[in-house]
Amino acid sequence: MRIAILAAFMALLTIGGTACADNFPSHPITIVVPFSAGGPTDSMARILGERMQRSLGQTITIENVTGAAGSLGVGRVVRSPPDGYTVSIGHLGTHVANGAIYKLGYDLVTDLEPVVLLPSNPMIIVSKNAVPAKSLKELLTWLKAKPSPPTAGTAGAGSGSHIAGLYFENATGIKLQYVPYRGTAPALNDLVAGQIDIIIDQTSNSISQVRAGTIRAYAVTDDKRVESASDIPTTDEAGLSGFHMTLWSGLWVPKGTPKEVVAKLNGAAVEAMNDPAVRKKFEDLGLQMPAPDELSPDALGAWQKAEIAKWWPMIKAADVKVD
């Protein structure tokens, strides 16, 4: 008897879920950006969201929930109803590294449902203009010679810019003093103002300031140059051979979101990334589009797990302290 009641209840839940999924989306959707407005994650969310709302027929609003390297914003999505109306945008930092650094109170794999892999971004090594170096080699010499550790802006312990900094310390033996912000948008403002020495930043964030001549770029952390900024050498060309890091991004929803809803969000995001006008905006920012076979929710899930296996040992070994 109890089993029959339970089965009837489950059937009702399923019907309810399907009905919801059929109507999805019937009201506005929120994408939670876990970093400051105007930064690289925010820009990507706004470009994507603007085009996705055309496919979905609903408004998409962006909410910036910042702090603790994006882990607060991701937590806000984990605790939202699993109905597809609250979407998490994040990257290698928020959805991989943070799990090795913070006591999150949620599991990055089992509490979230992957939706789609988004474009990736090589990092760029940039300094304030007052640094006298003209090449990466000269920058390394200048950083090494500094009597106190050079300051490096980050979006918090575990953010993309921080992981890149740890990797840079490993590769060069240069000790950095990290200055955390709520996103690399405010970090970049301070670099332009000369308050900090360097950022190993997402190319999409720094590129317009580099073009404006307000900061100096030394290399992109990839084996090929960024098409829209082809005058900037790669780390291989500039003397830091093999120093490669690409920050990929993605979308997730809370665990238990109906498959049909995930599929609709996925379809809208893929449509957006296939739109030539959107591609142009992304490519101008130095972003690289994912390959067609990387665009399913399962592909993002598998990729995220592989990245956790790859990065957690290095991050745990760095014994990053958070307050």
Residues found near ligand ASP in the complex (CB under 6 A): 35-36, 39-42, 91, 93, 155, 159-161, 183-185, 202
For ligand ASP, the closer of residues 162 and 264 by Cβ is: 162
- C-beta of 21 vs 210, nearer to ligand ASP: 210
Q: Minimum distance between the CB of residue 180 and ligand ASP, rounded to whole angstroms?
A: 10
- Angle in degrees, CA 115, 116, 117, rounded to 5: 145
Q: Select 44 or 56, whichever has its Cβ closest to ligand ASP.
A: 44
Distance of CA 9 to the CA centre of its chain: 40
Task: Give helix 259-274 / helix 276-284 axis angle, nearest 10°.
Answer: 70
Least distance between ligand ASP and beta carbon 74 (Å): 12
Judged by CB, which is closer to ligand ASP: 43, or 53?
43
To the nearest whole angstrom, how small is the minimum distance from the Cβ of residue 36 to ligand ASP?
6
Taking the complex as a whole, how short is the minimal distance between the CB of residue 4 and ligand ASP, in angstroms?
Answer: 51
CB of 71 to ligand ASP, least distance (A): 11
Nearer to ligand ASP, 47 or 185 (CB): 185
Give the angle subtended at the CA of 90 by the CAs of 47 and 315, to the nearest 5°. 145
- C-beta closer to ligand ASP: residue 156 or 254: 156
Give the C-alpha separation, 134 to 73, whole Å. 38
Compare residues 53 and 71 and give the one whose CB is closer to ligand ASP: 71
Q: How far is the CB of 149 from ligand ASP (least distance, A)?
A: 19
1: which residues sit within 8 A by CB, 6+ positions away?
A: none
CB atoms within 10 A of CB 23: 10
SS3 assignment, position 193: coil
Cβ contact 319:135 at 8 Å: no
Contact 274, 55 (CB under 8 A): no
Runs of H (alpha helix) within 79-176: 98-101, 136-145, 160-172
| Nearest to ligand ASP of 209, 257 (CB atom) | 209
Shortest distance in whole angstroms from residue 229 CB to ligand ASP: 18
> What 3-state DSSP class applies to 297?
helix
Distance in angstroms (rounded) separating the CA atoms of residues 27 and 72: 25
Distance (Å, whole) CA 297 – CA 113 = 8
Amino acid at 318: A
Rounded Cα distance, 217 and 196, in Å: 15
Identify the residue whose tokens are 């030539």: 276
Query: Could you tell me the smallest distance in angstroms from the CB atom of residue 202 to ligand ASP?
Result: 6
